[in-house]
Homo-oligomer: A and B are copies of this chain.
Amino acid sequence: MKKKFKFINPLINTLKPYVPGEQSLDSSTLKLNTNENPFSPSPKVKEAIQKCLLKKATLLRLYPEPESDSLKKALAKYFKLRKNSIFIGNGSDEVLAFCFMSFFAGRGVLSMPDITYSFYPSLAKLFGVSVETFPLAHNFEIDLSQIPKASNSIVIPNPNAITGLMIDKKKLIKYVLNNPNKLFLIDEAYVDFGSYSCIPLIRDRICENLIVVQTFSKSRSLAGLRLGFCVGSEELISALTDAKNSFNSYPVDRLACSAGVAALGDREWFKSSREQIISNRSFLTEEFTRIGFRVIPSKGNFLLISHRKANAVNLFEYLMRKKVLVRYFKHGRLRNWLRISIGSLESCKKVLSLLKDKLC
């Protein structure tokens, strides 16, 4: 064994890579385990890709725009930002990777909540970042007063990736403003399902110690195309761009870039699909509560639930036998909880009915 591994960077042999939710399933499985959007993306996305193929099929032979400028321009218009405060990547996971590489590595201690998106610790390990976690409150809320004084950087998902809870807006802004020497990365992957964005703090040049990350995978229904972005001061974005151009010059392909522009342009689709998800979330919250679940009040497209009498792992396995896939976390305080993505109304009713059969 030793002989074979002699060619590998010793650090890489110590990694604990992120394990994403199960992806390859037969089409009869109801997939509510990775917080994907239940609706097809805007029809304008399909049109934009077809236009690329019909009018410019030959263009697939050419490299794409290195900095995805046309998508940057569309985002700048949408958020009323300057283009050089935007960075685009191959999914928000890649954007997070460049942030860990550019802002957290080599800069002391990074803090994050003890219950959060499990990809963050994998990234920290890869880039040799020292992590100090801080505990969530008893009700699972992020308690900013728990952030260690010694940390130089903090990653905060708002809403939090596992619980769905958002931080009170005034409290969060006050904390960021009161700590100008700490760099905050706010991961807003789920922001469009009922929370608020911190992008205006960057747009209005109120904070320079802030990076906001968003994705097209959730509220724009483009997980299959890999598009994410972040917003920050020109200096921070320039550092990310240098890191990217030393790693991979053209990370976003031509079709994904066009699809992103089209998705951003369809405000009607966006409004109606997220309203439907919020409405389905309310329906499920009420119904789950009625049959004895504790439900964390989520602002994401998912619910974290725990039953007062039934064991989470049994419910998880029961649902899997019924071809419904949800997420079950083995660790610590979450070991009796399930996370269920908000599907279409039909899917929500199906899960509910299965759980009622089991529990009532």
- Expressed in whole angstroms, the minimum distance between the Cβ of A54 and any Cβ of chain B is 9
Question: Complex Cα distance A4/B31, Å?
Answer: 44
Binds B, one of A233-241, A328-336, A352-360: A233-241
Chain A 25-42: CB-based contact to B (< 8 A → 1; otherwise 0):
000000100101111110
Interface residue A57 (Cβ < 8 Å from any Cβ of B) = yes
User: What is the 8 Å Cβ interface bit string for chain A, positions 58-72, against chain B (1 contact, 0 not)?
Assistant: 111111111001000
With contacts A91-B250, A248-B90, A249-B20 taken as known, whether A105 is within 8 angstroms of B9 at the C-beta atoms is yes
How many angstroms between the C-alpha atoms of A249 and B345 in the bound complex? 29
Q: A9 to B102, Cβ gap below 8 A?
A: yes
- How many copies of this chain does one complex carry? 2
- Please tell me which stretch of A76-84, A93-101, A138-146, A303-311 contacts chain B, meaning at least 4 of its Cβ atoms lie within 8 angstroms of it: A93-101
What distance in Å separates the Cβ of A245 from its nearest Cβ neighbour in chain B? Answer: 3
A9 touches B53 (CB 8 A): no
Interface string of A221-245 (1 = CB under 8 A from B): 1111110000001011001011111
Q: Which residue of B lies closest to A238 (CB)?
A: B8
B246 and A11 contact, CB distance less than 8 A = no
A250 with B226: CB separation less than 8 A: yes
Mark A158-197 against chain B: 1 for CB-CB distance below 8 A, else 0. Answer: 0000000000000000000000010100000000000000
State the Cβ distance, A97 to closest chain B Cβ, in Å.
5
Interface pair A102/B12, CB less than 8 Å apart: yes
Q: What is the CA–CA distance of A46 and B50 in the complex, to the nearest angstrom? A: 9
Verify if A298 is at the interface (C-beta below 8 Å from B). Answer: no
| Cβ of A25 to closest chain B Cβ, rounded Å | 10
Q: Is the CB of B247 within 8 A of A123?
A: yes
Interface 9-mer from A253-261, A264-272, A288-296, A316-324? A253-261
Q: Complex Cα distance A287/B9, Å?
A: 48
Q: Which of B38, B62, B94 contacts A31 (CB 8 A)?
A: B62
Contact B40 A61 (CB under 8 A): yes
- Given contacts A4-B208, A63-B23, A93 and B249 within 8 Å (CB-CB): yes
| Contact between A57 and B46, CB atoms less than 8 A apart | yes
Taking each of A7, A93, A102, A236, which has the highest tally of chain B beta carbons within 10 Å of its own beta carbon? A7
Looking across the interface, which residue of chain B has its beta carbon closest to that of A249?
B20
Contacts of A8 in B (CB 8 A): 102-103, 107, 235-236, 239
How far apart are the CA atoms of A62 and B242 in the complex, in Å?
31
Q: Does A49 contact B (CB under 8 A)?
A: yes
Chain A residues engaging chain B, CB cutoff 8 angstroms: 4-13, 15-20, 23-24, 31, 34, 36-41, 45-46, 49-50, 53, 57-66, 69, 90-91, 93-94, 97, 101-107, 119, 122-123, 125-126, 153, 181, 183, 208-209, 217, 221-226, 233, 235-236, 239, 241-256, 259
The 7 closest A-B pairs by CB, nearest first: A17-B245, A224-B254, A126-B246, A60-B224, A9-B106, A40-B58, A61-B221
